[in-house]
């Protein structure tokens, strides 16, 4: 039996998603009204992300909340975590699927606290453009490290991911100097269907 990996969330309902492209456009318009700059997506080389029709529970995160991914990504993450455990590495989930509406709430809360839009958009994607909307991405941590801190790159877990994540189709989305002008996120890993089963990286370089 694997400890610490729950694969079912009994009685939990997946988070709501946009029911139509009109609903999605309405949320994007609200983000624009809040001050997301015109031309944001092009300037940051970001694609509009679609929310998945189906979501599978992946167990609870470090805060005890049930988290969700699209089913194939959920399966890939379970395999990744099990392989890590076999090597003595515990990977914990901080965040997984987030809806466009949820991202809009993040933006509203940060603005309400007085943070400038430019500062917010350096660390948070504008609603509609977070990879988390796709249900293919997770923010990971490991015991002994604070969630969503750059120091995660000093963990054994990060070293393990750098070496093995590609085998399971996961890649680091925002390395240092990424073309999207996001802050470095050693914790954010995204599953790409076409990369699943790819040969493991042979390089021991941490950030490539």
Nearer to Zn ion, 92 or 139 (CB): 139
- Which of 59, 188, 189, 190 is the binder for Zn ion (CB under 5 A)? 188
Contact 186, 150 (CB under 8 A): yes
Q: Nearest approach, Cβ of 86 to Zn ion (angstroms)?
A: 25
64-100: b or e for each residue (b if 16 or more CB lie within 10 Å)? eebbbbbebbbbbbbebbebbeeeebbbbbbbbbbbb
Number of residues counted as binding Zn ion (CB under 5 A) = 2
Nearer to Zn ion, 139 or 153 (CB): 139
Nearer to Zn ion, 24 or 133 (CB): 133
Which residues, 6 or more positions from 11, have their beta carbon under 8 angstroms from its beta carbon? none
Nearer to Zn ion, 78 or 94 (CB): 94
Q: Nearest approach, Cβ of 11 to Zn ion (angstroms)?
A: 27
Distance separating alpha carbons of residues 111 and 62, to the nearest angstrom: 26
Q: Nearest approach, Cβ of 78 to Zn ion (angstroms)?
A: 18
Q: Which among 1-9, 44-52, 185-193, 198-206 is the span making contact with Zn ion, rule CB under 5 A?
A: 185-193
Contact 168, 79 (CB under 8 A): yes
Closest chain position to Zn ion (CB)? 188
C-beta neighbour count of 62 within 10 angstroms: 16
Nearer to Zn ion, 133 or 188 (CB): 188
Nearest Cα to Cα of residue 148 among 167, 117, 174, 127: 174
Per-residue contact string for residues 131-150; x = within reach of Zn ion by CB under 5 A: --------x-----------
Residues that bind Zn ion (CB under 5 A): 139, 188
């Amino acid at each position: 039996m694997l400890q610490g990996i729950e694969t079912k969330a009994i009685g939990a309902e997946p988070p709501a998603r946009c029911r139509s492209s009109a609903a999605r456009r309405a949320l994007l318009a609200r983000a624009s009204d809040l001050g997301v700059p015109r031309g944001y997506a092009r300037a940051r080389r970001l694609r509009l992300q679609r929310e998945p029709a189906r979501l599978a529970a992946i167990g609870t995160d470090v805060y005890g909340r049930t988290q969700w991914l699209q089913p194939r990504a959920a399966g890939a993450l379970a395999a990744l975590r099990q392989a890590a455990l076999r090597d003595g590495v515990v990977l914990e989930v901080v965040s997984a699927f987030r809806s466009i509406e949820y991202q809009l709430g993040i933006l509203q809360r940060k603005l309400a606290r007085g943070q400038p839009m430019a500062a917010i958009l350096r660390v948070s994607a504008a609603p509609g453009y977070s990879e988390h909307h796709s249900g293919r991405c997770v923010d990971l941590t490991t015991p002994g490290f604070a969630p969503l801190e750059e120091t995660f790159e000093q963990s054994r877990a990060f070293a393990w991911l750098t070496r093995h994540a590609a085998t399971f189709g996961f890649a680091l989305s925002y390395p240092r100097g990424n073309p999207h002008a996001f802050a470095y996120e050693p914790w954010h890993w995204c599953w790409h269907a076409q990369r699943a089963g790819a040969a493991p990286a042979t390089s021991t370089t941490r950030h490539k």
